[in-house]
Amino acid sequence: MIILIGGSSHVGKTLIAQKLMEKTGFPYLCLDHLKMGFIRTGRTELTVEDDYKMRYFLWPFAAEIIKTAVENNQNMIVEGCYIPGEWRESFTAEYRSKIYCTFITMSEDYLRHNFELVKEKASVIEHRINDEVNLERLIMCSNEFREDCRKYHIYNLDITAQTPYNADLFAEQILHAAQITR
């Protein structure tokens, strides 16, 4: 089984992927690492500021990695903001039957009331260098990913005041929804 965890920056995708790895033993691929590999080797002119363009540059590579894992009957977690809403178009029905996808977003209200906490937790799993967190950009990105969930029928873990962030609970929900037993 391949688990895709997409969504906006700073919503806790990497921490949830880490929790899933601990619970399942599945390795995970952080698309930020793939991005930095392309940037640092000069294989792209894109920069860390080019998130939207980077999504469509990286996705074909990520999709082929996923296909290879499916073909080899391997499990994997892939997380990052570079998973496009139209991810299904990269796979045949046979591949899609082995892929579960969810996007994580945060409501505007949650972000406005918990912005300091979101900034504080930004480096829980990975050390972010020069990480400038912009509240309005986070709100806009979460709204865009939430719209992609509606448009492309992707399960949305929407973090709100009623459903606050809980990585362990969200990891369990993903395992249940993906029908993965341990």
Query: The pTM is what?
Result: 0.91
Rounded-to-integer distance, Cα 3 and Cα 100, Å: 5
Pick from 56, 80, 79, 76: which is nearest to 68 by CA? 76
pLDDT tens digits, one per residue of 21-67: 999 999 999 999 999 999 999 999 999 889 889 999 999 999 999 99
DSSP state letter for 39: H
Average pLDDT, the chain: 91
Q: Is 31 in contact with 6 (CB distance < 8 Å)?
A: no
DSSP 79-136: ESTT--TTGGGGS-HHHHTTEEEEEEEE-HHHHHHHHHHHHHTTTSSS--TT----HH
Using a CB cutoff of 8 Å and minimum separation of 24, what contacts does 158-162 make?
Answer: 158/104, 158/105, 158/106, 158/107, 159/11, 159/12, 159/104, 159/105, 159/106, 159/107, 159/110, 160/106, 160/107, 160/109, 160/110, 161/107, 161/109, 161/110, 161/113
Rounded-to-integer distance, Cα 120 and Cα 108, Å: 18
pLDDT tens digits, one per residue of 84-135: 999 999 999 999 999 999 999 999 999 999 988 777 765 555 554 555 778 9
Q: Is 105 in contact with 8 (CB distance < 8 Å)?
A: yes
pLDDT tens digits, one per residue of 124-163: 555 545 557 789 999 999 999 999 999 999 999 999 988 8
In one-letter notation, the amino acid at residue 182 is R
- CATH class entry, domain 2-177: alpha beta
The pair of structure tokens assigned to 160 is 């709100």
